[in-house]
Amino acid sequence: MKYRFPNPNNNEWINKYNNLVDLIESKEDYYKEYKKTQPKRNDKTHSGWTKEQVGIHHIIPKKIDMSLVKDKNNLLYIPFKEHCDLHYYLWKANPRYAAHLWFIAIAGRKMKLWDLPGGEEEYKMLSKDISLLRKNKSKNNYENYKND
């Protein structure tokens, strides 16, 4: 069994995150095999990206626990759309995960593969969170960052 994101406060967004991890884990053998058949994608130009493109997701983010980076129970083979959804849920649960969502949201939008459910308003909120995150990170206040 794969790891799950800790959720001591029963946060609705972390529940959604863990439920999606459950669903994907049940299909992971298929995704592992499917990934072997896919052409290599170029992350700089986004060529070769599709909604079905399978990548690897760290269930417990590297920022939380670097010791789990290569732990197979923390790695999940996952299609692009669901990968975006997982990063979205983390950001909604805690804005300190804005940076995790930023790249994947911009790439998904550019390639017309995925978009933030709240559209432009959520992009503005995400951009604000990124700015605040950078400011707080430069003050060594990353762990205490809250969205006010």
Cα-Cα-Cα-Cα torsion 78, 1, 23, 98, nearest 10 degrees, comes to -60
- Phi and psi of 61, rounded to 5°? -55, 150
pLDDT single digits (tens) 100-111: 898 888 888 888
- With cut-offs at 50, 70 and 90, classify the pLDDT of residue 145: very low
Contact 59, 3 (CB under 8 A): yes
DSSP three-state, residue 30: helix
Give 45's DSSP letter: T
CA separation for the pair 48, 41 (Å, rounded): 5
Taking the CA atoms of 94, 73, 105 and 137 in sequence, report the sign of the dihedral they define.
Answer: positive
pLDDT (mean) for 1-20? 95
Nearest-10 Cα torsion for 108, 86, 64, 105: 20
Cβ of 56: how many Cβ atoms within 10 Å?
Answer: 12
CA diameter of the chain? 45
Contact 109, 101 (CB under 8 A): no
Distance CA 117, CA 5 (A): 22
Tens digits of residue pLDDT in 115-124 = 999 989 999 9
